[in-house]
Amino acid sequence: MPTIYSKYTGNLRTKAVHVKSGNAIITDAPLDNNGKGEAFSPTDLVSAALGSCMMTMMGIYARKAKLDLKGLEMEITKHMADKPRKISAIDILFQWNDPQGSPKQISELKHIARTCPVALSLNESLHQNIVFDF
């Protein structure tokens, strides 16, 4: 059984459905690439996937270590290159006003984020600029 079913719905838009849950994601081409920019672009999803994967892996570690990640937030900025058109860099700023855990645990959280499955799957030419403000 597939994980995702997707179809082109016209006007540079797609609809992807997560088969198990039925949740859907609409993508739209960005304004700077002939689209309407009314939804996440595919490259936005790559950037969001990186951040979400980092937070999820941190959450798994935190649960096991009995740490509370409440208040952990991130901002993601995607940078595009031309010729070829591709994501050249993803900047992620993590902010946590009330970090929990020992210095060793905080260090481990940062390491786990940087080595999440999405981070390790992206091409090495894509710069992942990760800042932890905690």
Q: Residues 48, 97: one domain?
A: yes
Once rounded to an integer, what is the mean pLDDT over residues 4-9? 97
Residue 100 is predicted with a pLDDT of 87
Q: Residues 54, 28: one domain?
A: no
Q: Residues 25, 60: one domain?
A: no
Asked whether the predicted pLDDT for residue 23 surpasses 90, the reply is yes
Q: Residues 83, 120: one domain?
A: yes
Q: State the pairing for strand pair 73-81/24-28.
A: unpaired
In angstroms, the CA 105 to CA 57 distance is 13
User: How many C-beta neighbours within 10 Å does residue 38 have?
Assistant: 13
Residues spanned by the domain of 14: 4-33
Q: Is the pTM of this model over 0.85?
A: yes
Q: Residues 15, 78: one domain?
A: no
Q: Residues 46, 12: one domain?
A: no
Residue 95: CATH number of its domain: 3.30.300.20
Q: Residues 49, 85: one domain?
A: yes
The helix (run of H) or strand (run of E) holding residue 53 is: helix 42-65
Q: Which residues are bridge partners to 25 per DSSP?
A: 16
pLDDT digits (tens, 9 = 90+) for 52-104: 999 999 999 999 999 999 999 999 999 999 999 999 999 999 999 989 899 99
What is the number of domains present in the chain? 2
Question: Cβ distance 102 to 66 under 8 Å?
Answer: no
